[in-house]
Structure 1
Amino acid sequence: MRPLTEADVLASFVNADEEELRVLELPHDFLLVDWDYLDFFAWRDPMVSRRGYVIVPHEDHVAGIVLRTSDPARARSGLCSICHMMQPGNQVALFSARRAGAAGQKGNSFGTYICADLSCHENVRLAHPLAPNEVLVPGQIDMRLDGTRRRMEAFVSRVWSQG
């Protein structure tokens, strides 16, 4: 992902109103982000606990969406729809985003279950413990990264689409 400035981030949001952009808080370590390492950039708002943000590259620019979350589930475990990692139930939450354009102004939204801390990008890089009879296949982490990136891009595209 190409390096972004604060102005780039603010200009990228397709479903944010002026008030949401005014109160948006970047992560405290924003200036230290290793952009070469990221396929997309996601963070929880440090000041508003039920808000998160995702920015994904799209052709020659970036698209950002504002997310709202419910309280994490109380289930025993849950599957993140983005990174496909099983997590304890309190670490997966339903995130929804108001659709862009006229659909969003009518109140339409789209949602999915995502890691509650929006750490999908890091989670797929962690080597999961192998059972004694399992073998780590070369390229498996790359496949997981590609899948995570594609699913996040598809989620943002659904929010961005006018349909």
Structure 2
Amino acid sequence: MHAFTEKDIRASFVNASLRERNALVVPELASVEWARLDYFGWRDPKQPLAGFLVAPVDDEPVGILLRQTEQRTRTRAQCSWCEDVTLPNEVVLFGAKRAGRAGRNGDTVGTLLCERFECSANVRRPMPPAYLGFDVEAARQRRIEALRAHVDRFARDLRDSR
């Protein structure tokens, strides 16, 4: 993923109002390791139930405002994007308004995601070999590609619902 500027990020949100985009607190971007990310996600401590992510779709940033549900899942959930069964972090249910008229009419999409958007790190974590001769690096690459496909599909679905 290539680096985005604060201006790129603010302008990219497809399901946020102008007021929400202007109030957005973008984290410090200088220390972000863009090459190790498949999407850029963060939480704002002032809005504990809000999540923000920017995904590259056709090399253009697509920003998505997410809302975490207040109720936690009763059992240990699996992230829909990184699909890691040995997660070192919590998974929560996020909802996102669709872009355009559909979103203004209340149409939303929900998905289970890592609470602090750790998916890029999770899919790059080395996994133990499943059997003798198991290609760990090829499996890691497949996980990275699957994550990118999940993120791309979700972002396109929200963006193109106008």
Relative to the length of structure 2, the TM-score reads 0.88
Note the alpha carbon deviations across 1:16-56, whole angstroms, 9 max, x for none. 112211221122x4221122222211112232111111111
- Cα deviation per residue 1:73-129 (whole Å; 9 max; x = unaligned)? 3534211100001257x8111111100000001111111111111111111111234
| Runs of 4 or more above 3 Å deviation | 128-131, 133-136
CA contact (8 A) 1:72 1:116 kept: no
Say if 2:13 is the partner of 1:13.
yes
Query: Which residue of the partner structure matches residue 78 of structure 1?
Result: 77
Take 2:49 and 2:29, find their aligned partners in 1: how far apart are those partners? 20
SS of aligned partner of 2:25: coil
Aligned positions of 1:44-55 closer than 5 A: 44-55=43-54
Q: Percent identity?
A: 34
Change beyond 3 A, Cα 1:107–1:134: farther
Tell me the SS of whatever aligns to 1:112: strand
Structure 2 residues not aligned, in runs of 5+: none
Indicate if the aligned counterparts of 1:100 and 1:160 stay in contact, CA closer than 8 A: yes
Q: Find the aligned partners of 2:92 and 2:132 in 1 and give their Cα distance.
A: 30
User: Which deviates further from its counterpart, 94-103 or 55-64?
Assistant: 55-64
**Matches of 2:95 and 2:132 in 1, distance apart?**
36
The one-letter amino acid of 2:2's match is R
Structure 1 vs Structure 2 CA RMSD: 2.2
Q: Which runs of 5+ in 1 are unaligned?
A: none
SS of 2:48's equivalent? coil
Contact 1:68 / 1:96 at 8 angstroms: preserved in 2? yes
Task: Give the Cα separation in 2 of the matches to 1:87 and 1:142.
Answer: 18
